[in-house]
Structures are given as C-alpha cells and as structure tokens.
Amino acid sequence: SWHVTGIDDLPIRDELRGQSPYGAPQLDVPVRLNTNENPYPLPEPLVQRITERVREAARNLNRYPDREAVELRTELAKYLTRSAGHEVGTANVWAANGSNEVLQQLLQTFGGPGRTAIGFEPSYSMHGLIARGTGTAWISGPRGDDFAIDVEASVAAIAGHRPHVVFITSPNNPTGTAVGAGTVRALYEAAQAARPSLVIVDEAYGEFSHHPSLLPLIEGRPNLVVSRTMSKAFGAAGLRLGYLAADPAVVDAVQLVRLPYHLSSVTQATALAALEYTDTLLGYVEQLKAERDRLVTELRAIGCEVSDSDANFVQFGRFEDSHTAWQAILDRGVLVRDNGVPGWLRVSAGTPAENDAFLEAVRAMKKEDR
Ligand code: PMP
C-alpha cells in the first residue's frame, strides 16, 4: 500500500488534530478480560434461530430494511416492561447500531456546535469522544473519592456550567459503581433548573446491577433518557444493537438525525432472534453476577482494594504504577484493562476458569512484589 501523507497533512477538523482513536488493545492472549464482553458464546439453538431469521431476511435484501424497526422496538419494549418493572411501548423505544450510535444520535440532536455536555469522571471515555465528534464541548465533572457521584458537587457543577446534556453512567464504567434513584432525581432537577437540558442515564450494564433499573424515572420526565445495549447482558457485542427508552417525543427527535435505514435487516433479524432467547441469556447474567461477586471477595482476600461493583467487571488496585501491574498480569497470560485511572485496573468477569486464571496471576504478581 502507498502512503503519501499523514493525518495531520490532511484538511481535517482542527479539534481532531493530534487525537487518537478509541481502542482497547486486541491482543491474542489466552485469557481476555479487558473489554467487558460476555465470555459465553451464544447457545447453539439460538445460533440456529439466528440462521433461520437471517435467511428469511436475506430473501428480502433487495429491499431497504424497516426504517422504523417497529417489530424490534416492540420486542425491546416488552423486554424492558418485563425486566425493569415499568410499562413502556414501541413509541418509547428507539434502536441503533450499538448504544454508542444511540448516544451519538442523542448528541447530534441535543448537543452540537455551541453546546456542552458533562459527565462525571472517571467514566466511559466514549461519552467525551462522541461529544467531540459531534462538535459538542465536553465538561469533565467531579466524582467522589470512593468513585460514587457526589450529589452536591454534581448539582453545583450543573448549576455552574449549565450543560445541554448530562451523562449519568450507572453502573459506571470503569469503576463499577451504581447510583440510586434519588441521585438521578436530584441531577435531573438541577439540569432542568439550569437550562433545561437532556439527561442520559447510560445503563449499558444495568442487568448486572444489585439494584433495580432506573428506567421507571422516565415517567413524567420528558428530558430523561435511559440507554441500554445487547452487547453485555445478551452476550451479543458483535451484533451492534443498542437502544433507548424515553418519552416518545425524544424518539421523534432523534429521527431528525438518524440516517435512513441505519439498522440493517440482518441486524434486526439477529436481534429479534436473540430476544426470543432472553430467559436463557439472562441465566448467564446470573452466573456472571455470582462470578463478579466472587472476584470482589477474592481480590479483597488477596489484599487488593476493590470498588463495589454492580457491573460485569471489577475495578481493583491500588498500584503504584498501574501500567506495570497491567504488564505483570499480561505476562501471566491475562489481559485486563488500564483505563488510565491512576492506581487502578479493571477486569471483566469471565468464565469461572478464566477468573481463576486471573486471580492466580494477581496472586503471583503480589508474591513477586514482596
Ligand atoms: N456505555 C458504556 C458505559 C459502555 O461501557 C459501553 C461499551 N463499552 C457502551 C455504552 C457502548 O456499548 P455498545 O456500543 O456496544 O452498545
């Protein structure tokens, strides 16, 4: 391949100059616990069902997909009604290619040039990156020493900055901490008093929480959105299917920016097949929750500091130099994540055997340290 120029020689947007793309290392190591994937492959009967539904879809690939994805949104609404204990209908739900695309559509609609978005960091770094990609100025809000959201400090930050979009990630990535309904209510009130602005609750890891979903809070709060994904609990990261629940007006608003036919027929067919297997897939979630709790307990027993986790991953430390610790664990065949939070690393809950391998690697590292 030929190369006559570099990125910075191209007439790209000024704010992209010198930036790096999002990306966790995709290394070929025996145990990969670095991207919060579900370690369980889809069960074979579901693979068969996907094949059937995709074959049907293939017969119509000369046609554009259902632009409104009505059947899929209806099934997602049923799932949410059942699992979050709050009745939502098709009109409350919107779907896109991963929750990243959902968030991008929300920022294209409610953020953009001359507007601002705030998140409470450390949190999911893509919130800031999607903000930048949509021309929305990013504000890094505070978090408490224990990585919980400090309500008073957050309300003050919202009152001071008057952002157009507020992100609340619960359970939070990479720390694992969840927030209660009271925190969301307080931040929502502050955001409405300041502007009003759109409040996005990113519940990508909602199914793994010890606490119920925050979804019922959308009732009577037209500027509140709950974002979800099939990448984690449904074990379908490769599918790229995210969705949101909100007032139907929000769903109408994102139609203004979504690309026509953004969700392929193949994607819709696959997601519908996976939703038929909800109960089976949520059975794996229960196993992962138990393994997550075991990781917390055993890491503490080894002498690590561990943040309470409501997600399918655990934040552990503290290390004088997290990169050195990351490398020491990798040298023992286990890939975890260095999210750039000084002193801390993050491990995704894997299968029991993978988690054993990880715990053994940490024990060995600790022993060598002494
Ligand atoms: N939100 C959070 C908090 C995440 O951690 C992730 C994935 N790492 C996403 C959203 C995006 O996931 P997806 O696009 O696969 O739905």
Give the global pTM.
0.95
Over the stretch 334-363, which tens digit does the pLDDT of each residue have? 999 999 999 999 999 999 999 999 999 999
CATH number at residue 300: 3.90.1150.10
The CATH code of the domain that includes 221 is 3.40.640.10
Of 233, 254, 276, the residue at which a domain comes to its end is: 276
**Tally of domains within the chain:** 2
Q: Is residue 117 part of a domain?
A: yes
For the stretch 43-63, pLDDT in tens is: 999 999 999 999 999 999 999
State the closest ligand 1 atom to the C-alpha of 205, by its place in the atom list counted from 1: 3
Q: Quick check: 95 and 242 in contact, CB under 8 A?
A: yes
The whole-number pLDDT of residue 139 equals 98
> Could you tell me the distance, in angstroms and rounded to a whole number, from the CA of residue 186 to the centre of ligand 1?
24
Mean pLDDT of 4-26: 83
Q: How many CA atoms lie within 13 A of 14 on its CB side?
A: 0
Contact criterion met (CB below 8 Å) for 102 and 96: yes
- Check pLDDT > 80 for residue 4: no
Per-residue pLDDT of 112-155, as tens digits, reads 999 999 999 999 999 999 999 999 999 999 999 889 999 999 99
Residue 16: which domain range?
A: 7-43+280-369
Query: Which of 123, 124, 244 maximizes ligand 1 atoms within 8 Å of its Cβ, making it the mutation to test the pocket?
Result: 124
Cβ 98 under 6 angstroms from ligand 1: yes
Nearest to 80 by CA among 199, 206, 257: 206
The reply to whether ligand 1 has any atom less than 6 angstroms from the CB of 197 is no
CA 120 to CA 231: how far, in whole Å? 23
Element (H or E) spanning 229, and its range? strand 224-229
pLDDT at 18: 85
Nearest CA owner, ligand 1 atom 7? 204
Which pLDDT score, from 0 to 100, does residue 1 have? 72
Mean pLDDT to the nearest integer, 166-179 = 97
